[in-house]
A and B are shown apart, each in its own frame.
Chain A
Amino acid sequence: MKRGLIACALLVLSASSYAAMPPSAALCGSCHGSQGQGVDPLGPRLAGLSSDYIAKQIKLFQTGKRQNATMQPMSMTLQGDAVYAVADYFSSFDVPIVTPHLRGEKAVYEDPTEQLVYQGDWQRVIPACVTCHGPSGLGVGEFPRLAGQQASYIKNQLMAWQKDTRSGDQDGVMGAIADKLTSAEIDALSKYFAELK
């Protein structure tokens, strides 16, 4: 599926027509920014995530599979089609263009964090993050964009999986990986992706 192309087309359309904010999204702006650009440390960036992914996460908050004292009540304000309207709205905004670094572009990474990102650590069955999250963590479909996301947020998520307060990922795929990361690796990875912009 050429998600990238479709997403591009949507972006172009929305840029020219300035997606109108659905009423139910007004509340979200205070923590996520009116265009989903994120307000550190109140709320993560939503722009750059796919509509499918955002909608899925809202439902995970609603059903308690993602536990967060701030976001859980917020998710409950959205019912029925409002979930999709809001998801479409926030996913429609542009994010900075990052020149992607491709897997295989380099054989040797001196930095162990970059090595995890582009080659993984298969002795521990940790595949390269970019295999699922796309080149440079630009995201695709249900795999959220990591490039340019807030470091504190990325870290909180990886720790939430370790503490079992976040679940709902298909077959626990991300949780199984997060569980294998050391806290030093989590810090370094969060910083690495946050700075990719």
Chain B
Amino acid sequence: MKVSHLSWLIISLSPSLLVQAEELPDKQTELVAKVKQVGQAYLVPRDLSSIPQGEFGDKVRLGYQLFVNSQQMRDSYVGNNLNCSNCHMDAGRHANAAPLWAAYFAYPAYRKKNDKVNSYEERLQGCFTYSMNGTPPASGSKELVALSAYSYWLGMSGLMDQAGITTAVAELSDSDLIKGGKREDMLLPEAVKTAMTQPERAALPGKGFPKIAAPKLAYSPKRGSEVYQAHCQSCHGADGQGYESAGVYSLPPLWGPQSFNWGAGMHRVNTAAYFIYENMPFSKSVQLSNQQAWDVAAYINAQERPQDPRFTGDIKQLKDKYHKHQGYYGVSVDGKPELGSKAYGNNPKRSD
């Protein structure tokens, strides 16, 4: 506590750093990961063909398009070669790959740490800053409204189907859309309201990435490199930079200047292990063991990537403040310089 107050002082005193004096909020808080239940049924959103025609439907469709082809925002809001759907499989609809239909009803989220309430659009902004290594669209912008509308429509259509309601999903105003669905004044059909409590809707099965048990042996990037060569390299490349075809990295980079940065949720070894165990190798023709998932998660996250955007010049200070979790920021692996010290830039232009 004291340390962070002190560093605040130093930052706000130093004129050259004034711009950064207003701290970047931590919008990538770790979700509560739960163990996957066998035989669990998941919410099924309606087919995209049933998105209504008209202005509201257009927002929903735009949200889908921005989510799957995020590269149309390259050099404006996106600073790497990733698309949102690279981590949120099936355009944010796949259970256990942090689906949007589950996320939407968990915001606004109250956070003890800074007594701050995080709206849905703020969570989305965090993804732009960290996962996409970019600069987020402004509050209320057309992009954030569209991504919110898409998430809302997926979630609400699924909940309505579950409750046996076949009418169209109610349209919400832009200012309501970006708040998220966990509000006392949220517009909900009666049958949806009675089917589940608000906390239940905020913790739908399939939300986030399922937790897996801690590894038997402490995770090791060295063992992970063998897993990588055997099961990942064919798609992500020996150098982890993915493969491009017709200008699109449909096989995305896992580290390096064009991947997620040191502040993104995926850089945490546990989060990456949960994601990988459940979703990789892509299409799941084989299942990794628990140990393999942890080791390979350590391997890909013990590589240099773009800087944590909250960096103000001191790796150790940032590490102590924001990296008290399983990760390699500020750590030296195999006698190499500590990770973060050779980090790549934030929000680079494509041509850089």
> Restricting to A168-197, which residues have a CB under 8 Å from any CB of B?
170-173, 175-177
Q: Beyond A122-B94, A125-B283, A173-B281, is A107–B61 a contact (Cβ under 8 Å)?
A: yes
Contact B61 A108, beta carbon cutoff 8 Å: yes
Q: Which residues of B contact A176 (CB under 8 A)?
A: 283-285
Q: Tell me whether A131 and B250 are in contact (CB under 8 A).
A: yes
Q: How far is the CA of A119 from the CA of B48 in the complex (A)?
A: 11
A89 to chain B, nearest CB (A): 22
Given A104-B65, A127-B282, A175-B285, answer yes or no on A3-B248 (Cβ-Cβ < 8 Å): no
> Please, how many angstroms separate the alpha-carbon atoms of A25 and B33 in the complex?
56
- Contact, CB under 8 Å: B244 / A2: yes
- Whether the pair A104, B237 counts as a contact (CB closer than 8 A) is no
B246 and A134 form a contact (CB under 8 A): yes
**Chain A: minimal CB distance from B232 (Å):** 10
Q: Is the CB of A22 closer than 8 A to any CB of chain B? A: no
Question: Bound state CA distance, A127 and B251, in angstroms?
Answer: 13
Is B245 within 8 A of A140, CB to CB?
Answer: yes
Q: Assuming the A-B contacts A1-B244, A138-B245, A138-B246, are A104 and B68 also in contact, with contact meaning beta carbons closer than 8 angstroms in the complex?
A: yes
Q: Is B217 an interface residue (CB 8 A)?
A: no
Contact at A142–B244, with CB atoms within 8 Å?
A: no
When distances are taken between beta carbons in the complex, the residues of chain A under 8 Å from B90 are 119-120, 122, 127
Complex Cα–Cα for A175 and B49 (A): 30
Interface hits, B58-107 → A, CB 8 Å: 60-61, 64-70, 72, 83, 85, 89-91, 93-94
Minimum distance in angstroms from B95 CB to a CB of chain A: 9
Q: Given A138-B246, A173-B281, are A132 and B241 neighbors across the interface (CB < 8 Å)?
A: no
Smallest CB–CB gap between B121 and chain A, Å? 21
- Does A140 contact B243, Cβ atoms closer than 8 Å? yes
Residues of chain B with a CB closer than 8 A to A1's CB: 237, 239, 241-244
| Interface check A59, CB cutoff 8 A | no
Residue interface mask A114-131, B partner, CB < 8 A = 1: 000001101001110011
Residues of B near A107 (CB, < 8 A) are 48, 51, 60-61, 64-65
Whether A132 touches B248, Cβ cut-off 8 Å, given contacts A122-B94, A177-B283, is no
Distance, CA A178 to CA B67, complexed state (A): 27
Give Cα A35–Cα B131 distance, bound, in whole angstroms: 44
- Closest partner residue, chain A, to B64 (CB atom): A107
- Across-interface contacts of A141 in B (CB, < 8 A): 243, 251
Query: Does A136 interact with chain B (Cβ within 8 Å)?
Result: yes
A102 at the interface (CB under 8 A from B): yes
Name the CB-closest residue of A to B285: A176
- CB proximity of B277 to chain A, nearest CB, Å: 15
Known: A1-B241, A135-B250. A104 touches B286 (CB 8 A): no
Asked if A100 CB lies within 8 Å of chain B CBs, one says yes
* A64 neighbours in B (Cβ, 8 Å): none
**Is residue A43 within 8 Å, beta carbon to beta carbon, of the partner chain?**
no
Structural contact, B251 and A104, CB atoms closer than 8 A = no
| Cβ contact within 8 Å between B246 and A132 | no
Whether B51 and A135, one on each chain, are in contact in the complex, defined by CB atoms closer than 8 angstroms, is: no
Contact with B along A1-22 (1 / 0, CB 8 A): 1111000000000000000000
Bound complex: CA of A63 vs CA of B147, how far in Å?
Answer: 50
Q: Which residues of A contact B72 (CB under 8 A)?
A: 104
- CB-based contact A173/B67 at 8 Å: no
Are B235 and A105 touching (Cβ within 8 A)?
no
Which residue from chain A places its CB closest to the CB of B84 in the assembled complex?
A104
A132 to B250, CA, bound (A): 7
- Least CB distance from A37 to B in Å reads 21
Assess the A3–B231 pair: CB atoms within 8 A: no
Indicate if the CB atoms of B234 and A170 lie closer than 8 Å.
yes
In the complex, what distance in Å separates the CA atom of A1 from the CA atom of B249? 10
List B contacts of A131 (CB < 8 A): 250-251, 282
CA separation between A170 and B48, bound complex, in Å? 33
A107–B246 Cα gap in the complex (Å)? 20
Residues B206-241 near A (CB distance < 8 A) = 231, 234-235, 237, 239, 241
Taking CB atoms and an 8 Å cut-off, the chain A residues in 67-107 that contact chain B are 100, 102-107
Which A residue sits closest to B61, measured CB to CB?
A: A107
Can you name 12 A-B pairs with beta carbons within 8 Å? A1-B243, A3-B243, A104-B66, A108-B61, A110-B49, A122-B94, A131-B282, A132-B235, A132-B283, A138-B246, A176-B285, A177-B285
* Chain B residues packing against A (C-beta within 8 Å): 48-49, 51, 60-61, 64-70, 72, 83, 85, 89-91, 93-94, 231, 234-235, 237, 239, 241-248, 250-251, 281-286
Residues of A within 8 A of B (CB): 1-4, 100, 102-108, 110, 119-120, 122, 125-127, 130-132, 134-136, 138-143, 170-173, 175-177
- Give the 9 A-B CB pairs with smallest separation, nearest first: A104-B69, A134-B245, A104-B68, A176-B285, A140-B245, A100-B246, A122-B90, A107-B61, A135-B246
